Each structure stands twice: as structure tokens, then as C-alpha cells.
Structure 1
Amino acid sequence: MSEERLVLAVELARRAGALLREGYGKAMRVDRKGADDLVTEYDVRCEEVLLEGIRHAYPGDAVLAEESGASGSGDVRWYLDPLDGTSNFVHSLPIFGVSIACARNGELILGVIYDPMRDELFSAGLGQGSRLNDRPLRVSTTRELNDCLAATSFPYDLRTNLDNNLAQFSAVCLRAHDVRRLGSAAINLAYVAAGRLDAYWGMRMSAWDLAAGMLLVREAGGRISRMDGGPDALAEPTSLLASNGLVHDSLVEVLSA
């Protein structure tokens, strides 16, 4: 069952990614869900592609999608982010992707993240490892926080909520080698799985932002927790810390100070 769904997820991610490539750099309709939370016609169109494919193949599966919310019920649930990195897409900054995950009884069984601008398809199946296209992935071997290249995201209520990650960002900047903000949680997590980043953290994030990347990191040998080191969950909103495992405890200490 998992293998068939993984094949479908890969197919749908590539199909949605082709639509994003087609729209990249073109004039488009952009609406606001919040002060800093954008949605484009391509978010909606790509989500329709994903939903149509899943509902046709597995009409009994439940879905949680960023734009249309929750639908269906059952033991199997899909988590869909049709365009993670919408602000980058709107500004023609080529760092964004399609994120698809699936869980059975709350346990993630597959994750796919597709970067259409680089034609990089990151995939993982439970117990099967993580891959980039046809190459197995493994997290980095960085051991010291001073050598760590990390990334982070800021919550959409950055301007109105004092618990906004700025203090944590400053603290990690002073301890790590460097910190990046790429603008896509999915891409950040894929890069941790690929060993390009040593760690990534964020707060008040949604399940569709994280689900695929969480499995990718785990299956590549990394570690996932909340920012305070507690067990991760697909509940939302939630904080997340993903790392190669070797710098994890040091980052928990800094983020929790």
C-alpha cells in the first residue's frame, strides 16, 4: 500500500511542479490570507492537481491541505502543501517546492518534496531511507555547533507576537557557523536530509509544512523534535527542530535558553 502511494505522490509532485515552472516569473493573481501570508492562483491550481489525483486513486483517504483544509476520514491521511515558499515564487526567487506526505494511524509512511526549478525530487518511505532522485541521502556529520550551518523560518505573526523567533535567531547566530533563511520549510528540511544544512528550526508551523520533510530527515539518519527537545507531533501549530542528530542537543540548549 505504501509503495503504490509513494509512486502516486512522486507523479503528482512532478505534475504540480511542472505547473509551477510554467507560471514562474509570470504575472499572476496574488491574494493575502494574512498580513504576510500570500496565496496565488498557482497555490490553488496545484492543490487541485494533487487533490484530484489522490481522490481518484484513493477516494477513502483523508486529506489535510493548506488551501482547502481538512476533508474525509479514515486511517490514512495525506498532508499537502502545493506551493511551499509562495513569497519566493511571487518575487521570482527560485526557492520553493511541492510537499506531499501520507500517514497511517498517525505514523508517516511517505514523504515527497519536489523542487521544480532544480528538478530535485526528494522522497522517503518508512523504513526505506531517503533519496534525491536516484541517490540515497544521508545527513551531515557536523558535530560542533560552531561548525553548524543552520536555517530557520519566522512565523507569520512576527510583527504582532513577541514570541517571534527573533531571540532564538540571534542566539543561534552567535553560536553557530551561520544561519540561513531560505523561505521554504519543505526545502529547508529536504536540505537537512541531504546534508546541505546541519539543522533547521521554526515555530508555529502547520502539519502540511513539515510532514514530508520530517520523514525525509528521519529516514536519512537525522533527528526530529520540538524546539524544546520534546517529542514531535503532527499537531498544529507546532515548533520543530530537525538536525543531523549530532548538534541537536546543543541547539535545544540554545533555543530553550
Structure 2
Amino acid sequence: MKTNQVIEVALKAGETLLTGGAEIYRVEDTVIRICESYNVDAECFVLPTGIFITVIDNEGNPVSFVRRIRKRTVNLEKVEKINSFSRSLQNNPVSYQEAMTGLNSIIGLEGYSYALKLLVAGITPFAYAMLFRGTLAEACASFVIGIVIYFIKEEITRTGIFEFFENFISGMAAGILSVLAIKLFPFMDLYRIIIASIIIMLPGLAITSAIKDALYGDIVSSMFRLTEAVFIAAAVGVGVAIALSVGLRWI
């Protein structure tokens, strides 16, 4: 395999990992692992918004490659499969066509159905409402609100609006729907419903990845992810606060 083809495979694998929510050290390790599988001497530096690779060409000159990352989601299935893919190349380096076919099959994974995602988005708040010692009615209200929030968030995501706005709107929707639930059923606890409902929006993966990056010495990436987590939590909190400040006046 030619050097530029090796780099293309490595960049594509790294991009899939990074957009799937993988830690920085994992992306760097995978990119280097793929390059070493084809005896390509490479250095890799990864940030949450980009991948930078420098290799030595056949004439001994350094050549740099950059891949900009603009959108990050959570898809741990793809992360696991890319991990397995990179390790399999160490034992059995395949041709460029085979490698790209394998990568494209992983990238093309559809994952779980939309209906199942909606169901889980409701079950999670339901479980947390019960965990917080809520009543069955409060858990059911959280279930419905969780589904609606996930639907709204997905629809906003498809429009391409920046992430913090979608979290702000989702937080506001959680507050408004919780207030409506209390208006219809005054015996329920407003704050227990809200807390259970917004659980699905909290940046747990970003915080976990930030801590792991810090432990591996990637301080810049760790601070980036922590800042991102703070902004997401703030966007959700501000949305809920605005909804409550208006809604509580007419309960």
C-alpha cells in the first residue's frame, strides 16, 4: 500500500473514532497503529476538532496531513469496531481496497432504530424518577417528557444548528413540559420530574473522556472537553431556568 493510501485509511479511522466519542489517546493510538502496520513512520497529534499527521515520504521529506472534525456524536459501537479493525491490521495488513471496504462498512452502520432510541430516551428518565423515590405518576410523566425532548433534540440536530442551541431548546422544553404536567396533576413534584427528564442531556461521556484524557497527559484536550461539558450543562440549565421563571407564575 502506498504511503498516501495508508494515511487516508488512518485518517478515516481516526475521524470515525473522534466523531463517535472516543478519547484522544485512543484516536492517536489507532492512527499510529495503522501506520505501523504498513511500516509507515508517522507522528500524530489529535484535538477534539482535528487530526494532524506527519509522515516521512520516500524521499525523506516530512509531509503533513490534516483532517478537520466539525461534528461529534456518541457511537460506541463504531469505536469498538474501529479498535478491532486497527488491531486486525497489525496481524494481517490488507490491501487498500479491502481496508477501505472494511472502514466504509463500519461507518455505514445504521445502529439502533429511531423508535428504539425514542423508547430508551423515555425509559431512562422513568428509571431515574423511580430512583429518586418518585411516584409512578411522576415516572410516567418523565417518560413522556424524555421522549419529547429526544425528538426535539434530534429534529434540531438535523437542521444543522449549533449544539449548544439544541441543548438550550431541549432544556426549555423539559421545563415547559414539566410545568404543564404539574398544572394538570398538582400532586406531582415538579423538580423531581425535571431532574429525571434532563438526565439524558447531561454530558456524561464528555466529562468521562476529559478525565481519561487528563490521566493520559492530554491536558489541552481534557480542558477542551471539560469546557464543552460545562457549556452543555449551562445551556440546559438556562433553558430550564427560563421555562420555570415564566411557567411558575401561572401554576
Which TM bucket (shorter chain)? under 0.3
TM-score by length of 1: 0.25
- Greater share of residues in helix: 2
- Greater share of residues in strand: 1
* Greater radius of gyration (CA): 2
